Amino acid sequence: MKIIMLGAPGAGKGTQAKKIAAKYDIPHISTGDIFRANIKNNTELGQKAKTYMDKGELVPDSLVVDLIMDRFKEADCANGYVLDGFPRTIPQAEALDEALKASGAKVDFAIDVEVPDENIINRMGGRRACVGCGATYHVEFNPPKQADVCDTCGQKLILRDDDKPETVKNRLNVYHEQTQPLIDYYQNAGVLKQVDGTKDMNDVFTDIVDILSK
């Protein structure tokens, strides 16, 4: 099963993608997580990506496409995957389609997690990410057992630099300009499914499981 998560920054793509990955035993592939791991390890790719990420802009398509094509070659992708944060532009979606077509495959579901902009700024201010394992929490909606400490690995939780309100506003603009057109793209491909992302995260997941089991 090949699944794409669509939605604004903070809509809950990562939260839902992790649950889908666990239930269906497929890898959760987040381009944002891959870039952050590269920044942490100070690789050349990380240094390039950071200049864009810090401003809330998109990393150039060529960098992202090369990265994801490499990732698809790994053995765990044999039974599909859930993509979180890719594709984010029409050229990225076209590159994905081309690559899949070459192996006679296609995207099975594009799940759009809908959350209005008004809700996003609040959500992002409360998001906390683990520096160790990348787990995501929310101070109000999904708090860790102990403040600022990861339940899973015990390391520190931080507010991502690009989750500060000024950068979030820019990321929302970038989303509307460059990523939202993918909703029509996947609608036309006949694979778009929309879920109400303002519901409780467990209810959103129930709605997604309903869609995937049809």
Whole-number Å distance between alpha carbons of 63 and 87: 12
Write out the two tokens for 53: 């990420």
**132 near Zn ion, judged by CB under 5 A:** yes
Nearer to Zn ion, 135 or 168 (CB): 135
Shortest Cβ 197–Zn ion spacing (Å): 24
Matching residue, tokens 């939780």:
157
Write the CB contacts of 6 (distance below 8 Å, at least 6 apart in sequence): 13, 110, 111, 112, 113, 179, 182, 183, 186
Nearer to ligand ADP, 26 or 171 (CB): 171
**Alpha carbon distance, N-terminus to C-terminus of the chain:** 12
Interstrand relation of 28-30 and 81-84 (parallel, antiparallel or unpaired)? parallel
Please pick, from the candidates 4, 35, 95, 186, the single residue that binds ligand ADP as defined by CB under 6 A.
35
Residue list 142-171, contact with Zn ion (CB under 5 A): 150, 152-153
Query: Can you give the binding site for Zn ion, defined by CB under 5 A?
Result: 130, 132-133, 135, 150, 152-153
Where does this chain bind ligand ADP (CB under 6 A)? Answer: 7, 9-15, 31-32, 35, 52-53, 56-59, 64, 85-86, 88, 92, 123, 126-127, 136-138, 141-142, 162, 171, 197, 199-201, 204
